[in-house]
Amino acid sequence: MEWFRKSSAPQKGEPKKEIPDGLWTKCKNCGEIIYVKELEKSFWVCNKCDFHFRIASQDYIRLILDDGQLEQFDDNLVSDDPLEFKDSKKYTERIKAARKKSGLNDAVITGTGNIDKKPVSISVMDFTFVGGSMGSVVGEKIARSIERALEKRIPLIIISSSGGARMQEGILSLMQMAKTSALLALLYDEKIPFISVLTNPTTAGVMASYASLGDIIIAEPQALLGFAGQRVIKQTIGQDLPPGFQSSEFFLEHGFIDFISHRKDLKRNISLALDYMAVQPPGQK
């Protein structure tokens, strides 16, 4: 009868923005009161407990690319409403609200730039836009980002932050998993490196496709990672789950990811990984 009680609870709206607008903010993890300017200087990481605040896609661009310079592609792609989906509000209205709130056209920005003078094709997801969900626009932009890496023979970087496939687009969002994975197989065949960076949270359809297919997979500390939520897994397999089993640290311990990088070291670590995995000339296996 749980659903009766739930119906009186407040409806979930758009995900809350983590970055505060005021002068001071409170760390969600340890409760420390932090001066926002200090937080900015420390890459939005709590200086007391190392909690990584969620940041926008543009912040990652500034953090990782040389001079924060991204040559953006495909920003004109916008979602259609093929199913004429409506829950608490129409899908088209939800998209319109998300565009206004985030200043983005969809949940990923893609383009090319340099990391320590090494050119890369990069995609950065943004959780602010409908929970970083992957619909046909996100899938198509990621696909084109992979094709750009193939065409220019430059490494691919994808920074993920997602609650999964966008249910309002039904099967059209699920097929993005297959589409992006198939293109990544071509990239693999061409021996062009792909670095996947998992940030908090990276789950469901995104985790089950490109996010988990990196040649090197890096995660931010204490990020929530996984496919289904804890309650769903518990109900399905009828077993208790170990504590913290959906964290970066647990994933590292069990070999799913290669290493955890503090945000301040992220650029250096990606750059080092790129040095280790130089692009092979065409045809070399």
- List residues near Zn ion by CB under 5 A: 27, 29-30, 32, 46, 48-49, 51
**Least distance from C-beta 123 to Zn ion, angstroms?**
29
Query: For Zn ion, which is the closer residue by CB, 30 or 182?
Result: 30
Strands 156-162 and 216-219: unpaired
Distance between CA atoms of residues 147 and 170, nearest Å: 25
Query: For Zn ion, which is the closer residue by CB, 170 or 221?
Result: 221
Query: For Zn ion, which is the closer residue by CB, 50 or 66?
Result: 50
Burial class of residue 277, CB neighbours in 10 A (0-12, 13-18, 19+) = middle
**Least distance from C-beta 262 to Zn ion, angstroms?**
14
Q: What are phi and psi of 258, to 5 degrees?
A: -90, -45
**Least distance from C-beta 199 to Zn ion, angstroms?**
17
Please report, for the chain, how many H helices and E strands are present, in that order: 10, 10
**Least distance from C-beta 236 to Zn ion, angstroms?**
34
Query: For Zn ion, which is the closer residue by CB, 51 or 60?
Result: 51
Query: For Zn ion, which is the closer residue by CB, 39 or 274?
Result: 39
Query: For Zn ion, which is the closer residue by CB, 32 or 66?
Result: 32
Query: For Zn ion, which is the closer residue by CB, 47 or 181?
Result: 47
Distance between CA atoms of residues 187 and 150, nearest Å: 6
Alpha helix positions (H), 8-158: 36-41, 57-64, 91-102, 136-152
Residues 6+ apart with CB under 8 A from 230: 241, 245, 246
Q: CA angle, corner 212, sides to 153 and 62, nearest 5?
A: 60
CB hemisphere CA count around 19 (13 angstroms): 16
Distance between CA atoms of residues 154 and 277, nearest Å: 11
Distance between CA atoms of residues 73 and 151, nearest Å: 14
Distance between CA atoms of residues 176 and 151, nearest Å: 20
**Least distance from C-beta 18 to Zn ion, angstroms?**
13
Query: For Zn ion, which is the closer residue by CB, 34 or 65?
Result: 34
**Single-letter amino acid, residue 81:** D
